[in-house]
Amino acid sequence: MLAAYAASLSADDPLSALEVGERPEPQAQDGWVVLPVVAAGLNHHDLWSLKGVGLSTDRLPMILGCDAVAAHPELGEVVLLPVVSGTPGWADDITLDPRRSLLSELHQGTLAEKVTVPDGHWVPKPAHLSAVEGAVLSTAWLTAYRMLFRNAAVRPGDTVLVQGAGGGVATALIQLGSAAGLTVWVTARDETKRRRALDLGAAQVFGAGERLPARVDAVLESVGAATWSHSVNALRPGGTIVICGATSGDAPARAELTKIFFKQLRVVGSTMGTLDELASLARFVTTARLRPAIDSTFPLADARAALARMASGELVGKIGITP
């Protein structure tokens, strides 16, 4: 079958590590099923994998991709949960399993014609969404849902700051947060992305690092080093930073420890979500009639162009892939 996979790893030139070509069809192990992929989506995770972050050479070749809508023979189109438990008998929150992984880390990913997943690791695709729109719920939207509604300790009427506007997680945070009655402020590095953030529901937009008119209740961080000091400064005393990523690096010039203890800030890490949260997300997207912002969609054969677009940082919303 056709697949986009990491054939090698390259920290400096991740696209040189990518191959798009034939791979063997997946075989289901006990308790897993093989499903045809209807649509997949890209995440920054796919670039990290090609760079060798979270993926080592002994696991190559590895099919990339965490997001997918797959065709289930009885249930129809389902959105896959890409989190896989690694501890036998683990019954707690799957994201807290120390041996958990995402599809494309230990098990082959979704950028292929077929994928194998643990039985039941899915929810029905919301009926009003296209397959690509449904696929992007798997990772970026699930992460944004948990950041906002479990970890940020905010409620309707509160003000949150989203660092970055165009990314998959950032656009999901803007759409979900504004639909839930939060006042969403957004920083972005260019004017086009600031305008798009307003279209997606942001109440106000700001340049990167710009001083805000007031302190916010929570900051949603996925950028890391480039925005860390701004995030700490943006919070009211007792506010919360929820961090899910560090696209610009994880070593900020200042850790801001003094401000963190003096303002009694909470810094909360957030990773993916559970099957229950994916089901809640799908219900919320349905009742609020949300449609995830899609930047562009590429056929699987053009996965290289799709990943190059993600690496360029020019995107607004998610990139879809159709096999």
Euclidean distance between CA atoms 247 and 260, whole angstroms: 22
Q: Which range of residues in 176-184, 218-226, 231-239, 255-263 is near ligand NAP by CB under 6 A? A: 218-226
- Bridge partners (DSSP) listed for residue 164: none
Pick 33 or 188: Cβ nearer ligand NAP? 188
Using CB under 6 A as the binding rule, whether residue 45 contacts ligand NAP is answered as yes
Give the interface segment with ligand NAP, choosing from 14-22, 186-194, 232-240, 260-268 (CB under 6 A).
186-194
Binding of residue 252 to ligand NAP (CB under 6 A): no
Q: Is 217 helix (H, G, I), strand (E, B) or coil?
A: strand
Q: Is 97 exposed, middle or buried (0-12, 13-18, 19+ CB in 10 A)?
A: middle
In the shown chain, the binding pattern of residues 123 to 152 toward ligand NAP, with x for contact by CB under 6 A and - for none, equals ----------------xx--x---------
User: Binding of ligand NAP at residue 198 (CB under 6 A)?
Assistant: no
Residues 83-122 that bind ligand NAP (CB under 6 A): none
Q: Rule CB under 6 A: is residue 196 a binding residue for ligand NAP? A: no
Residue 226 interacts with ligand NAP (CB under 6 A): yes or no: yes
Structure tokens at 49: 């994998």
Q: Do β-strands 114-118 and 32-41 pair in parallel, antiparallel, or remain unpaired?
A: antiparallel
8 Å CB contact between 62 and 45: no
> For ligand NAP, which residue of 223, 281, 282, 321 counts as binding (CB under 6 A)?
223
321 binds ligand NAP (CB under 6 A): no
Query: Taking a C-beta distance cutoff of 8 angstroms, is the pair 171, 143 a contact?
Result: no
* Choices 220-228, 232-240, 251-259, 299-307; region in contact with ligand NAP by CB under 6 A: 220-228
Whether a cis peptide bond, with omega within 30° of 0, leads into 124 is no
170 forms part of the interface with ligand NAP (CB under 6 A): yes
Q: Interaction with ligand NAP in 253-282: which residues (CB under 6 A)?
A: 271-272
Q: Tell me the torsion sign for CA atoms 277, 283, 287, 293.
A: positive
Q: Give the C-alpha distances (Å, rounded to integers) separating 216 from 189, 227, 252, 254.
A: 20, 15, 21, 20
State how far the Cα of 317 lies from the Cα of 141, in Å rounded to an integer.
11
Positions 58 through 87 that interact with ligand NAP (CB under 6 A): none
208 binds ligand NAP (CB under 6 A): yes
| Positions in the binding site for ligand NAP (CB under 6 A) | 43-45, 48, 139-140, 143, 164-170, 188-189, 193, 208, 222-223, 226-227, 244-248, 271-272, 310, 313
